[in-house]
Amino acid sequence: MIWNSKLYLQFERERTRAARDLLAHIPNLNPRYIFDLGCGPGNSTELLVETFPKATTIGVDVSDEMLQVAQARVPSAQFIKDDIDSWRPSGPADLIFANAALHFLSDHHSRLRELVVSLEVGGVLAVQMPNNIHEVSHALMRMIAADGPWSSRLVPIAKSQALVGSADEYYELLAKNCEELDIWQTTYFHPLANVDDIVKWFEGSGLRPFLDALSPEEQLGFLARYRAELTKVYPLQSDGKVLLRYPRLFIVARR
């Protein structure tokens, strides 16, 4: 996928809130080496450096543009270009942090198990994944993908989107390799200025796989239809804003 840090950071406060909540649930830890998988523009890496200033913090991402922004933002951290689907820690991993990244992988279930096993004994894997595949915002993406001149290209993309599972599923997947395992879900309700802001939000995340497969002209057509459908299902609040419902699943596992 082609990532754009400016699009992603338009809603930095809202996106970083989940990273802060995940970080707050990490048990007592004095890490030497921290890996921030899918670090993006460095907003989560910055939190990690502030919380664990004595640790060596390494951000991992596949996007050159994101890594450039992250390095400028957090000069005290190290950054490497790698695919988090196949990445392996280069040293002892005391904390592996993955905020809104692993759900993009084709098989994040296997990856979660591999990451726990790669931890040092006593180390922690902290993961947050948007659990909004069934939200109307994403159902409309799939509907428009299937109903247009682009359907032959976009339907396979829609079908390949990984589902975030239940708490029971992840517990059974990870418990046997964990000393402690904490799993919970939080649903955020983000007040946004209008439906256009919902479109901008997902242009920096969930819409990317669809848009990347389209020509610039097709992208405009897809977004126009998406905006029109959103208007029908996101009512204006009394102050004129719209509420974006956003469930997120959290996992904190200590090996």
Reference 7, options 207, 220, 184, 225; nearest CA is 207
pLDDT in tens, 165-187: 999 999 999 999 999 999 999 99
C-alpha to C-alpha distance for 131 and 169, rounded to whole angstroms: 14
Reference 175, options 102, 251, 66; nearest CA is 251
C-alpha to C-alpha distance for 99 and 22, rounded to whole angstroms: 8
pLDDT at 161: 79
pLDDT at 8: 67
pLDDT at 106: 82
pLDDT at 79: 98
- Binned at pLDDT 50, 70 and 90, residue 4 comes out as low
C-alpha to C-alpha distance for 102 and 96, rounded to whole angstroms: 12
Whole-prediction pTM: 0.92
| Residue 145, SS3 per DSSP | helix
- Binned at pLDDT 50, 70 and 90, residue 7 comes out as low
